Amino acid sequence: MKSQVIIPKGYKPALSLKETEKAIREIKEFFQTNLSFELNLVRVTAPIFVRANTGINDTLNNVERPVSFPIKDLGDVKAEIVHSLAKWKRLMLAEYGFKTGEGLYTDMNAIRADEALDNIHSLYVDQWDWEKVISAEQRNLEFLKSTVNKIYNVIVRTEKYICYKHENLTPFLPEQITFIHTEELEQEYPELTPQQREYEACKKYGAIFVTGIGHPLKNGQPHDGRAPDYDDWSTRNKKGFLGLNGDIIVYYPVLDIAYELSSMGIRVDKKALLRQLGIRNEQDKKKLYFHKQLLEGKLPLSIGGGIGQSRLCMLYLHKAHIGEIQSSIWPEDMIKQCRKHNIFIL
Residues identified as active-site: 58, 112, 127, 247, 260, 263
Of the candidates 95, 83, 89, the residue with the CA atom closest to the CA atom of residue 52: 83
Q: Where are the alpha helices (DSSP H) in 40-140?
A: 86-96
Q: How far apart are CA 196 and CA 213, in angstroms?
A: 15
Of the candidates 170, 167, 92, 73, the residue with the CA atom closest to the CA atom of residue 132: 92
Of the candidates 195, 50, 42, the residue with the CA atom closest to the CA atom of residue 111: 50
Of the candidates 301, 236, 292, the residue with the CA atom closest to the CA atom of residue 268: 301
Strand order in the sheet with 103-111: 41-43, 103-111, 124-133, 302-308, 257-266, 245-252, 207-211, 178-181
Q: How far apart are CA 313 and CA 321, in angstroms?
A: 11
CA–CA distances in Å: residue 92 to residues 28, 140, 248, 299: 23, 23, 25, 9
Question: Are the beta carbons of 338 and 5 closer than 8 angstroms?
Answer: yes
CB atoms < 10 A from the CB of 315, how many? 24
**Span between the terminal Cα atoms of the chain, in Å:** 22
